[in-house]
A and B are shown apart, each in its own frame.
Chain A
């Protein structure tokens, strides 16, 4: 505690600081009992239904087990002291009972008001995302400025609380033509998605949970809850300002990257020996106390992940890390020291991330995640050593080569008729897929392909009626989805393929993947 000054100096010297909020409230230590081990969600993504649980205390556990002497309590989070915006009256305001009348009048007011919702281009957007507080205060809107969307946010809040108050029920979604309105109420936030795309309601709900987790990764669950406990009318935008770009980036990744749909991570194809060498470099040079995860990312793909024994990185958390790197240009300018909350790992506190690029072209990014807020210089040192070793053994070149080859072409699998596929290894939550090629090169065609996969995935994973195999012959392509204990495979063929030849191709493909497995996936997890 005494030398927290140093940490502050470091963080102010980093350019990224403005993007993230309140770095000094990183880790909250509390006296709560440690959570049992099963609460740490393993890397297996299958248990998505558990998304509701918010693990907390992991960070505390690590800190305590490593430094018995530091077990004294730190004071609770102090909210930004500038509470001039609030009048006491607002705080005491009772939860309004919304009558149907008010609900309807809120809607008519909207017509009078000059607002965003009347603009045709706003209305025509494919997917809207709104975040608001339970009091109806706007927090985020993907399209248009929240300031001009006060009325619609009010209506959303009114709908949620009306349904809740009148029937002790919870609104889930509304369907109107091609539009789906999906509601996700996570105390103290309300998240709503309005989509006219191919996504199913379950897929939209999953996307909203990602958005929610993104908010947590900036604020932590604990802070979020305590803020609204103190002031129901708090304007959360003040704490989130600067982090909208992470939400924007996350939402566009969700629409183009199959990782989110599959709940899996894509690995950069590398020869086993090269990847081992890279992992060994990290283990050798980053064996530092309190370092929980060390990972290298290249173009949103995972190169390697080294973890503290006992702790796992959940794919959802990894996606948030990937998004953090993806959305920030500033990491390219200098080594950064940034707090990040990984909601599946510990939603109550921050990990401290040391983020740096290892190569000149800024493609290979090293992340060192620790619970020690004062270890910037130690980790910076580790980074230099890792970089040195990777240069010496051509690790960076290998990564660069793999990146320039832009994954692999479907031709490499040697299978005719097959246009594209996604293969997910279920036990490792990793997936592989070839480059998108003709006829899916245009943006519109790519969106359509994405829609096809969404359809396949949705129909197969409908929770009440799950399927093992789905074979669909449509006008433009033939689709095959196949789920087994070990893998999920989604394949797209030309429309004229026959069933026996499609099955033959799939068997061939599975053999090819088996042969290339070492290169395409990280099969054994490496620990410190």
Chain B
């Protein structure tokens, strides 16, 4: 009854107190502030409050301030680099109720869980660090030419631009004003904390074929430094370091692929996809980033640059993505190499037929497996800290776009249990029965976390046993 208010992003800002130490110069501290329309006084005031909180917490604690809870808001704090603070504010969901004829607002404070939003904030920073955009690149190319290759961190950008704060501000603005729009604050949950990768299980033969294909690719085009192979939103093979792959995976699945698919659907660039029907066999290969039309030499398209730390810190690479059917190959090429149209054409010639064949074979295997049988008596979430593998049947799909199969409160309970377990480095198991008579089993062992939600109202504690749910992890 009554109106409801969901969690939403209220503000997001980045500041550094050292930039405006004097009175009247407070605005200089602000490096980025969302929403932009916010009145400058309010911006200054809110940053002032955050500075005060951070300093006050230091009076007692050696660890930095993480969050502030108020009745209506939740502030999350992150100091990703010394003296640079990123603060995110989300609203507390509420319900307007009537009590004895008087309207009042009930704030559901416990629905907003710190670990989830801390994870979002960390991710927001990491994304910024990794991604730069082609558009932006064009604007600032001149500035960059003067310096060496710039780096992803705030400090490195500053270091490379002779402490030009404006450059940093522009970059922040460019990245975050778009990134924040993709942030689905109210849908965040335990999956955002894990921020894992969905792996694609394949039979041995097919897997070896993929590996062969990658080896062949890298041998033939030696300037390809790293390669990753994806099918739909699942990772099949990756030559990147885990942490790089994690953020790259996030970028590909939540940003690049969806926007590409949208484009495809709109059919704006529908020059009936680069279907080359020359001497070669028909293939469905196409660049996701790179030349939009392989027959049109005039445009090289947009090729994003990313920063990765797999071999050396802050290595800048072009990210070239090629796709056929549902299979995508992501190729990272050091920016020291120049991208030419000729190179892309050669790649297309090699990738197109091979990938088309591989994709349809995988697709065959994939469609065989996707035969879910009715409503299972339990749902689970699995995460492996060692290889970041993640699996969920709690969410309707891996992107958690369409919904969840368990009550939201139960999903939040998983975060509670996970947070409890993360306090101790040792293994443990927790079994709980909720008020709605759902059973939840949480288990942490050997770097793996595993949660099962069992909808079996009349089960008793003895019958509920995490080990009984031998879920094939493939």
Contacts and interface: CB of A to CB of B under 8 A. Distances in A.
A286 interface: no
Interface stretch (B56-64, B141-149, B274-282): B56-64
Interface in A447-475: 455, 459, 462-475
A500 B465 CA distance: 11
A9 B431 CA distance: 63
B62 A177 contact: yes
Nearest to A476: B426
A53 B413 CA distance: 31
B48 A123 contact: no
Contact of B428 (A162, A194, A467, A472): A472
A186 interface: no
B416 A462 contact: yes
Interface string A159-184: 10011001101111111111101000
Given A107-B55, A175-B114, A468-B435, A167 B462 contact: no
Nearest to A117: B59
Nearest to B71: A170
Contacts of B53: 159, 174
Contact of A471 (B45, B68, B432): B432
Interface in B65-113: 65-73, 108-111
B424 A171 contact: no
A19 to B, nearest CB: 32
Contact of A155 (B45, B56, B114, B428): B56
A465 B45 contact: no
- Interface size for chain A: under 10, 10 to 19, 20 to 34, or 35 or more residues? 35 or more
A464 B110 contact: yes
Contact of A503 (B58, B109, B462): B462
A36 to B, nearest CB: 13
Contact of A177 (B46, B61, B416, B432): B61
A173 B433 CA distance: 29
B428 A465 contact: no
B51 A104 contact: yes
B65 A175 contact: yes
Contacts of B462: 499-500, 503
A373 to B, nearest CB: 37
B69 A499 contact: no
B49 A163 contact: yes
Nearest to B75: A174
Contacts of B59: 110, 117, 123, 152
A179 to B, nearest CB: 4
A459 B440 CA distance: 13
B71 A179 contact: no
Contacts of B65: 174-176
A93 B237 CA distance: 70
B428 A470 contact: no
A473 B428 contact: yes
Contact of A171 (B57, B63, B68): B68
B299 interface: no
B140 interface: no
A411 interface: no
Interface string B399-431: 000000000011011001000100010111111
A179 B61 contact: yes
A463 B110 contact: yes
A179 B57 contact: yes
A194 B60 CA distance: 8
Interface string B26-59: 1000000000000000001111110111011111
Interface string B432-460: 11110100000000000000000000000
A100 interface: yes
A100 B109 contact: no
A177 B49 contact: no
Contacts of B70: 163, 167, 169-172
A76 B251 CA distance: 70
A469 B436 CA distance: 12
Contacts of A201: 69
B23 interface: yes
A241 interface: no
Contact of B49 (A123, A128, A162, A462): A162
Given A173-B68, A176-B58, A181-B56, 15 more contacts: A100-B51, A100-B52, A155-B56, A167-B70, A174-B65, A174-B69, A175-B114, A177-B62, A179-B61, A459-B432, A464-B412, A465-B413, A467-B434, A467-B435, A470-B432
10 shortest A-B CB distances, which residue pairs?
Answer: A100-B48, A177-B63, A464-B110, A176-B57, A469-B433, A179-B61, A475-B426, A176-B61, A176-B65, A172-B69
9 contacts: A123-B60, A158-B52, A162-B52, A166-B45, A174-B57, A465-B416, A466-B434, A467-B432, A499-B465
